[in-house]
Amino acid sequence: MSIFLDTAGKNKLTPKQILTDPVLFLAFGFGSGLAKKAPGTFGTLAAIPLYVLLVQADLLIYSLLTISLTVVGIWICGIAAEKLGEHDFGGIVWDEVAGFLITMWLVPFSWQAVLCGFVLFRLFDILKPWPIRTIDRQVHGGLGIMLDDVLAGLFAGLLLRLAFEWGWVA
């Protein structure tokens, strides 16, 4: 019994097909989206090493890379959905990667901040409070896949920044 998917999407792509296709490899969060259960959580976990790498750069570089990864993510997620034959397949987790980077954007690095950012982002991504849920239902394609997680990242990031300002997160 494996913790990984045997096939993905209506087109039943194999893990090997996903891991060897550069677009699908990124869309599946470096393979983390192949998890049978909670692929979004695993995708967010896969974003942490990328965040740790990017946070070492100055704010301008972090900002440019986060914006670039988000914009390119619209294309990546759209192409992945087409290849899978299924819109917003759960294993497409590049949106979680971008959403987590957005969450952590304006918060100084600490492991406490990473943990709080992870929890806040997952809560907003799973619960999808207004207007996230409305946008998730009305916007389709790669933009639709990305946009709800971008908003979840912005909301989580705002709360995390406030928690930092109020001294609740060091």
pLDDT single digits (tens) 110-160: 999 999 999 999 999 999 999 999 998 999 999 999 999 999 999 999 999
Residue positions counted in the chain: 170
**Residue 19 counted as domain residue:** yes
Tell whether the model's pLDDT for residue 1 goes beyond 80. Answer: no
Say how many domains are in the chain. 1
By the 8 A CB rule, do 125 and 146 touch?
no
Three-state DSSP at 4 gives strand
DSSP 8-class letter at 37: S
Give the rounded percent of residues in the chain with a pLDDT score beyond 90.
Answer: 92
pLDDT band at 4 (very low <50, low <70, confident <90, very high): confident
Neighbours of 15 (CB within 10 A): 18
What is the span of the domain harbouring residue 120? Answer: 15-165
**Residue 61 counted as domain residue:** yes
Q: What CA–CA distance (Å, rounded) separates 5 from 77? A: 18
**Residue 64 counted as domain residue:** yes
Q: What CA–CA distance (Å, rounded) separates 81 from 144? A: 11
Candidates 2, 16, 18, 3; CA nearest to 93 is 18
pLDDT band at 13 (very low <50, low <70, confident <90, very high): very high
